[in-house]
Amino acid sequence: MQFKQTTILGLFDSSQKHFIIPVYQRAYSWDNKNLPIFLSDLKEQIQGENGYFYGNILLETIKKDIEYEIIDGQQRLTTIVIFMRSILDVLSERDLSDSPDFDILQKKTIYLKNGGNVKLRTVDYDRACFETLIIDGHNKFQLSSPSQNRINDAKKYFKKELGTVSTGDLLKIIDLLETTEITSIELNSKADSALMFELQNNRGKDLTNMEKLKSYFMYQMYINSPADETQNNVEYIADIFKSIYLVINDITSLDEDSVLIYHCNAYIKGFPYRTIEDIKEVYLKSKNRILWMREFVKELCISFDNIKKMEKSNLKYLNDLRRLTIPRFAYPFIIKGYKFFEGDSTRLNSLYHILEIVTFRYKLVSSRADFLSRINEILLSFNGDLLNLKEHFRNKFNETWYWGDEKVKEVLNGYMYQNPTIHYILGKYENHIQNKGYVVEGVEIESVNIEHISPQTPPDNKKIAHGYETNSRNRYNEDFENEYINCLGNLLLISETHNKSIGNKPFKEKIMSYNQNPLFNQQAEIKKFVRDEAEPLWDKDAIDNRHLAIVDNFALDKWNFNNVVIK
């Protein structure tokens, strides 16, 4: 182990020396929260007289004085290289005749590439992007991952901000950065690197939980392995995390720590899982710690891979879950489902169907009752038996009442306007009636509103238009206003422009507009609930009949667990 006090210039300034970010490390993660802080620090420092310190970096020596893997510090060193490319690009467009000693080409050979020697090589899957945009300085690349977007965004951000800085200050910033002190710690093996990384970073502020877990496991392998197995065991952890980070870069809907949480919900403590301290607690109780760690990281890698598979899936009920917005409690069930079903799309779709009903009921009822504690037992006992899972949810919901059949019916029969599921319910009802013979041309609608067929009470004491159930003063009775205006039978999907055009118009005009512009079949079917087409009246009977069609004849069956087919 060697500690070297050097500068940024001293770290990079060698014709053969280069740094590699191993693929088991995170890809580039700095974004618009980190970049302004980095730049503002530099701007502030050139106004002062004190030196600047950039902290420690941890390197594994692959070939002395030539090749090093970055164990800790990859985000900072990557940012320095992106920053140098950006500032040199800006300076290349400036008049530098007053600074004859400043050589842009020389700086590029120090920080970017010296002949064929690329000074910083990122993780494999971002290398082509990084070398195209940063090392070679091109402005276009087909970006295909979040980290590649962040590399591109960082370069654009620095060039834009530095473009407003005077040439004199840009040269001062380069001088400041090059003379910035840094301590490089050079280690000779991954085992030594694991030990130092854990000692240095187990309380670090900026590490993700995944990074902390990786360093903890590598350190534990170091101290628990027999001497002749240490290197192999540490490298096993590194290789598994290499595979995980390859997958992470392809996952777009969840961050790495969220997947870690859902995996631990599934396999560690259920929903009471909170932090990696819970993982450590279970690990420290294991009889064979080496085997436990190997099995845990292997299963964790499988979970990440299955989340990637889920993102690419278009199974019917998964898409319905997406429309509802997949809640966090669903992911541990999904992770377990992929493990048990191994790509069986029929059983996976049945699992998604169960979760769609659970999610719908959860969002429909919007209870303050502790949902997770009530379903934790269901999660922990789920072993791939879908019939048992379905019955477990049905029984638990009906026992606790909050999300049971009677409560669902009560909510559907009550005030539904502004309920978080209202668009979803009426959208599914639309699909239901289309399958029963109401056919219109498919139309893409930019914005969909919820229309009150009997209009809401107009402001400023304006009278309600003709054709609705009102009293002699053209006002709604109290029971009509409380029980009918915002019930499902009186609510309709409609385009935003159509909704604005009809407002408080007489019902005869409104139903005519429904028939003339039937973007949704539910608009066209309104006439079937009205008794007299010549003088149509939208009254309690009409609303009750439509409410019955939506709730009793559709919704109560649609979101009933009996509706799940399990083969």
- In this structure, is residue 449 part of a structural domain? yes
Taking the C-alpha atoms of residue 398 and residue 377, their distance in angstroms, rounded to an integer, is 15
* Whether residues 184 and 202 fall in one domain: no
Higher pLDDT, 198 or 449: 449
The closest of 493, 495, 482, 499 to 540, measured between CA atoms, is 482
* Whether residues 295 and 435 fall in one domain: no
Lowest mean pLDDT among 43-52, 147-156, 371-380: 43-52
Lowest mean pLDDT among 267-271, 331-335, 421-425, 445-449: 445-449
Q: Which residues, in sequence order, are CB contacts of 291 under 8 Å at separation 6+?
A: none
Q: Which pLDDT belongs to residue 439?
A: 39
Q: How confident is the model at residue 353 (pLDDT cuts 50, 70, 90)?
A: very high
pLDDT at 438 over 70: no
Mean pLDDT across 242-255:
90
Structural domain count of the chain: 3
SS3 content of the chain, % helix, strand, coil (to 5): 55, 10, 35
* Whether residues 95 and 205 fall in one domain: no
* Whether residues 230 and 105 fall in one domain: no
Domain end marker among 312, 328, 344: 312
- In this structure, is residue 392 part of a structural domain? no
- In this structure, is residue 397 part of a structural domain? no
The closest of 417, 433, 420, 431 to 492, measured between CA atoms, is 417
User: What's the sign of the alpha-carbon dihedral 363, 366, 367, 369?
Assistant: positive
405-412 vs 345-365: helix crossing angle, rounded to 10: 60
Span 273-308, pLDDT tens digits: 999 999 999 999 999 999 999 999 999 999 999 999
Lowest mean pLDDT among 4-18, 22-36, 541-555: 22-36
* Whether residues 41 and 173 fall in one domain: yes
* Whether residues 107 and 22 fall in one domain: yes
Q: Name the H helices within 67-103.
A: 74-91
The closest of 462, 455, 438 to 519, measured between CA atoms, is 438
Q: Which pLDDT belongs to residue 205?
A: 42
The closest of 251, 456, 366, 303 to 465, measured between CA atoms, is 456
Tokens of 175: 């001088």
Q: How confident is the model at residue 234 (pLDDT cuts 50, 70, 90)?
A: confident
* Whether residues 86 and 155 fall in one domain: yes
- In this structure, is residue 360 part of a structural domain? no
Using the CB atoms, write b or e for 14-29: b if 16+ within 10 Å.
eeebbbbbbbbbbbbb
pLDDT at 418 over 70: yes
Other Cβ atoms closer than 10 A to 248: 22
Domain end marker among 123, 157, 188: 188
Q: Which pLDDT belongs to residue 211?
A: 86
Domain of residue 67, residue span: 2-188
Q: Which pLDDT belongs to residue 48?
A: 65
Collapse the DSSP code of 39 into the 3-class scheme (helix H, G, I; strand E, B; otherwise coil) and give the result. helix
Mean pLDDT across 57-86:
92
* Whether residues 165 and 81 fall in one domain: yes
Q: How confident is the model at residue 51 (pLDDT cuts 50, 70, 90)?
A: low
Amino acid letter for position 177? L
pLDDT at 60 over 80: yes
- In this structure, is residue 75 part of a structural domain? yes
* Whether residues 202 and 175 fall in one domain: no
Taking the C-alpha atoms of residue 143 and residue 146, their distance in angstroms, rounded to an integer, is 8
- In this structure, is residue 326 part of a structural domain? no
Q: How confident is the model at residue 201 (pLDDT cuts 50, 70, 90)?
A: low
Collapse the DSSP code of 2 into the 3-class scheme (helix H, G, I; strand E, B; otherwise coil) and give the result. strand
Q: How far is CA 143 from the centre of its chain?
A: 19
Domain end marker among 288, 312, 336: 312
* Whether residues 201 and 272 fall in one domain: yes
- In this structure, is residue 542 part of a structural domain? yes
* Whether residues 521 and 469 fall in one domain: yes
* Whether residues 300 and 439 fall in one domain: no
Q: Which residues, in sequence order, are CB contacts of 26 under 8 Å at separation 6+?
A: 74, 75, 208, 210, 211, 245, 248, 256
Taking the C-alpha atoms of residue 172 and residue 531, their distance in angstroms, rounded to an integer, is 83
Q: Which residues, in sequence order, are CB contacts of 173 under 8 Å at separation 6+?
A: 42, 43, 46, 87, 165
Span 90-131, pLDDT tens digits: 999 999 888 888 999 999 999 999 999 999 999 888 999 999
Span 252-267, pLDDT tens digits: 899 999 999 999 999 9
- In this structure, is residue 112 part of a structural domain? yes
User: What's the sign of the alpha-carbon dihedral 264, 269, 272, 274?
Assistant: negative
Span 380-393, pLDDT tens digits: 999 999 999 999 99
Lowest mean pLDDT among 73-82, 227-236, 544-553: 227-236
Amino acid letter for position 88? L
